[in-house]
């Protein structure tokens, strides 16, 4: 099963799908799934655009509205999480996930699905301490503050994800888990992004919530975007019961721009391999059960909300039993396949009306989505937007009603310490180039993943973005690569043919093109504190260079070039002095 992973999409769907199609044409494999790590920008019209957190002069429709209207269809099943540059009003219609366009699926605030036998999870948004303990209180029309707080991670989603059991194949987050840079080539990272140095030295760069999830879930792969740089790492986890270690292969990717390493393709074994059947998307029964069991913890107020924990008289462990999972499956009529029931709830952008004057556009009213309504009815759970619109709340679970609510002290370890913000760049590049894509193959030695050293090589070859045939591209000579790696001079493209099984993987670091200058904004952030008597409120109460195991999959990466002009700007024009976003 071939999976393409993309960093920050920023609405450039045509570029991403064209790059995937070109790879398929040249190398004879079929990409089954595309994963996007945030800033997807599912903007249907100018009203959605008004709800996106960016300066008015940078608001652009990009490509998504054509896929929403049906003018185009995504050529590969696409799954994405939310970032910090999104049409938040539209994504709020799908708190538990849903189809934003045919063949394009959003995971929701947090979510877990199954694709071809692979378990894929994700957490949308970015971490910010002061909003972490709040409920999902925002709705359109947003204020300047709520336009940004709406995409900040909440403790409810992190608490729910921590209840998951079993193995996890892939997990996605927009911002990086804090501290993951200590498990990869951080000196190179600090050289490429010098404004990260002080944050890295203080272990303050990244999301503390994602760090907790990385330690708890221990997925085989973890993919991120947000910081606009490619970075691989290998994180080892010790199993205290068995004494054995397992590893998470982390990879952050860049945004979709010329000469950026924004796309990576890997091959993973799947239960559907060799079946010839299309890859289907299914719900994860355990995740649906957790949503059902924790529905009473949902808050839609800006009040501080604590999750239950040790010492509480109410239930605080929601890892479901087999009986509870079976009950969920029965509620779903024994069918966990996600229905392809996309239905447009707003008109798509009409180019014939001309470019809109954004200063006169108003934010749209909030809407309910029939996909979410159907799922909530099946599971008897609440839609946060329905509660915000005044709908009656579904009854709480008996266990939630029976016992008083206590504070979970373990949940405070993320927020009590002052959290320093990262110097994250926010770049807008329009740069000139030679209209060339690059294909890179990386080869690693068969060393054990615990070894700190290993050998590898890569070869770069250009691919023209025009309509020329694959035979034309095979005549192009490879370009020079970074001097820090050994390069074997070879003509043509060097991308291994896919294997049925047993192929190797290597996430080898490579230097990014830094032709566009980055800027940073240094900020500080305080975290909420509480008195010992504070109680949870409910709505009712208003390393070294990594070496990877070469036995599971193979990875190829794509970077893209096209002719554009260059300019840069600084974060100060976008965010207030209290905002951390990239």
Tokens 């393409």 belong to residue: 4
Closest Cα to residue 165, out of 269, 285, 251, 295?
285
How far apart are alpha carbons 80 and 85 in whole angstroms? 13
At residue 287, φ and ψ (nearest 5 deg) are -65, -45
Sign of CA dihedral 442, 439, 74, 276: negative
pLDDT at 275: 53
Contacts of 77 (CB under 8 A, 6+ apart): 32, 33, 34, 103, 105, 115, 279, 281
Structure tokens at 307: 């999750």
Task: Please give the span between the terminal C-alpha atoms of the chain, in angstroms, as a whole number.
Answer: 32
Name the percent of the chain lying above pLDDT 70.
66
Is the distance from CB of 494 to CB of 476 less than 8 angstroms? Answer: no
pLDDT at 272: 60
Tokens 């690693």 belong to residue: 444
| DSSP run (H or E) holding 438 | strand 436-444
How far apart are alpha carbons 165 and 121 in whole angstroms? 12
Closest Cα to residue 176, out of 50, 79, 272, 83?
83
Is the distance from CB of 453 to CB of 83 less than 8 angstroms? Answer: no
**Other beta carbons within 10 Å of 141:** 15
Closest Cα to residue 546, out of 252, 214, 112?
252
Give 80-122 as a DSSP string: E---SSS-HHHHTT-TT-EEEETTEEE--SEEEEEETTEEEEE
pLDDT at 396: 60
Per-residue pLDDT tens for 457-511? 333 333 333 333 333 333 333 333 333 333 343 333 333 344 443 333 344 333 3
Contacts of 241 (CB under 8 A, 6+ apart): none
Closest Cα to residue 13, out of 87, 65, 85?
65
Closest Cα to residue 383, out of 82, 95, 10, 66?
95
Structure tokens at 286: 């355990």
Query: Per the omega criterion (within 30 degrees of 0), is the bond before 141 cis?
Result: yes
How far apart are alpha carbons 195 and 203 in whole angstroms? 14
Q: How far is CA 254 from CA 235, 377, 461, 465, 575, in A?
A: 20, 39, 19, 19, 21
Local confidence pLDDT in tens for the 582 residues of the chain: 999 999 999 999 999 999 999 999 988 999 999 999 999 999 999 999 999 998 888 888 999 999 999 999 999 999 999 999 999 999 999 999 999 999 999 999 999 999 999 999 999 999 999 999 999 999 999 999 999 999 999 999 999 999 999 999 999 999 999 999 999 999 999 999 999 999 998 888 999 999 999 999 999 999 999 999 999 999 999 887 778 899 999 999 999 988 899 999 999 887 665 555 678 999 999 999 999 999 999 999 999 999 999 887 889 999 999 999 999 999 999 999 999 999 999 999 998 888 888 889 999 999 999 999 999 999 999 999 999 999 999 866 544 444 444 444 444 444 434 334 443 333 333 333 333 333 333 333 334 344 433 333 333 333 333 333 333 333 333 333 333 333 343 333 333 344 443 333 344 333 333 333 333 323 333 344 443 334 444 444 444 444 444 344 444 444 444 444 444 433 333 333 344 444
Cβ neighbourhood burial of 489 (10 Å; 0-12, 13-18, 19+)? exposed
Q: How many Cα neighbours within 13 Å face the side chain of 436?
A: 13
At what angle are helices 285-293 and 322-331 packed, to 10 degrees?
90
How big is the chain, counted in residues? 582
How far apart are alpha carbons 245 and 289 in whole angstroms? 29
Strand partners, 236: 247
**Other beta carbons within 10 Å of 479:** 12
**Other beta carbons within 10 Å of 542:** 11
How far apart are alpha carbons 504 and 455 in whole angstroms? 14
At what angle are helices 285-293 and 155-162 packed, to 10 degrees?
130
pLDDT at 436: 34
Tokens 């039993």 belong to residue: 321
Structure tokens at 177: 């888990």
Rounded to 10 degrees, the C-alpha dihedral 172/177/182/183 comes to: -30
Spell out a b/e string for 48-72, using b for 16 or more CB atoms within 10 Å of the CB, else e: bbbbbbbeeeebebbbbbbbbbeeb
Sign of CA dihedral 296, 299, 304, 307: positive
Q: How far is CA 322 from CA 159, 163, 394, 479, 517, in A?
A: 20, 14, 24, 56, 53
Closest Cα to residue 486, out of 445, 453, 455?
455
What's the alpha-carbon Rg for the chain, to the nearest Å? 23
pLDDT at 287: 98
At residue 541, φ and ψ (nearest 5 deg) are -100, 15
């Amino acid at each position: 099963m071939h999976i393409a992973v993309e960093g920050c999409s920023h609405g450039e769907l045509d570029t991403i799908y064209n790059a995937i199609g070109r790879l398929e044409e040249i190398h004879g494999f079929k990409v089954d799934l595309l994963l996007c790590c945030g800033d997807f920008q599912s903007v249907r019209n100018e009203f959605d655009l008004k709800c996106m957190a960016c300066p008015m002069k940078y608001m652009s429709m990009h490509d998504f509205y054509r896929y929403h209207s049906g003018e185009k269809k995504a050529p590969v099943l696409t799954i994405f999480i939310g970032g910090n540059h999104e049409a938040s009003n539209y994504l709020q219609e799908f708190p538990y996930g849903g189809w934003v366009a045919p063949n394009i699926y959003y995971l929701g605030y947090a979510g877990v699905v199954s694709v071809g036998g692979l378990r894929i999870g994700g957490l949308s948004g970015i971490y910010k301490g002061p909003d972490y303990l709040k409920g999902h209180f925002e709705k359109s029309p947003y204020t300047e503050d709520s336009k940004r707080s709406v995409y900040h991670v909440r403790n409810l989603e992190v608490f729910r994800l921590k209840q998951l059991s079993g193995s996890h194949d892939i997990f996605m987050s927009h911002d990086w888990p804090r501290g993951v840079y200590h498990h990869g080539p951080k000196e190179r990272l600090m050289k490429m992004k010098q404004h990260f140095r002080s944050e890295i030295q203080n272990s303050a760069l990244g999301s503390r919530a994602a760090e907790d999830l990385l330690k708890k879930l221990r997925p085989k792969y973890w993919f991120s975007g947000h910081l606009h740089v490619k970075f691989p790492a290998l994180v080892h986890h010790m199993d205290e019961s068995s004494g054995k270690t397992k590893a998470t292969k982390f990879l952050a990717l860049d945004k979709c721009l010329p000469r950026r390493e924004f796309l990576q393709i890997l091959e993973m074994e799947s239960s559907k391999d060799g079946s010839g059947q299309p890859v289907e998307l299914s719900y994860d029964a355990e995740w649906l059960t957790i949503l059902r069991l924790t529905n009473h913890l949902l808050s839609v107020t800006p009040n501080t909300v604590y999750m239950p924990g040790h010492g509480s008289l109410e239930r605080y462990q929601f890892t479901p039993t087999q009986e509870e999972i079976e009950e969920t499956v029965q509620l779903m009529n024994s069918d966990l396949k996600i229905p392809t029931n996309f239905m447009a709830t707003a008109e798509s952008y009409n180019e014939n009306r001309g470019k809109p004057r954004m200063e006169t556009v108003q934010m749209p009213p909030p809407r309910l989505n029939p996909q979410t309504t159907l799922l909530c009815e099946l599971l008897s759970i609440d839609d946060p937007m329905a509660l915000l619109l005044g709908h009656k709340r579904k009854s709480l679970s008996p266990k939630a009603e029976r016992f008083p609510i206590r504070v979970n002290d373990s949940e405070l370890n993320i927020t009590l310490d002052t959290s320093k913000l990262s110097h994250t760049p926010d770049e807008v590049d329009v740069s000139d180039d030679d209209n060339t894509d690059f294909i890179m193959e990386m080869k690693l030695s068969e060393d054990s993943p615990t070894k700190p050293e290993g050998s590898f090589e890569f070869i770069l070859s250009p691919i023209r973005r025009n309509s020329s045939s694959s035979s034309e591209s095979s005549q192009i000579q490879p370009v020079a690569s970074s001097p820090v790696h050994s390069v074997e001079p070879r003509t043509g493209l060097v991308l291994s043919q896919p294997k049925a099984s047993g192929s190797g993987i290597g996430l080898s670091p490579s230097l990014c093109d830094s032709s566009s200058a980055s800027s940073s904004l240094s900020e500080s952030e305080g975290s909420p504190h509480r008195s010992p008597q504070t109680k949870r409120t409910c709505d009712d109460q208003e390393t070294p260079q990594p070496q990877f195991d070469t036995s599971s999959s193979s990875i190829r990466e794509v970077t893209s070039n096209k002719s554009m002009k260059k300019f840069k700007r600084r974060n100060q024009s976008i965010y207030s002095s209290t905002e951390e976003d990239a």
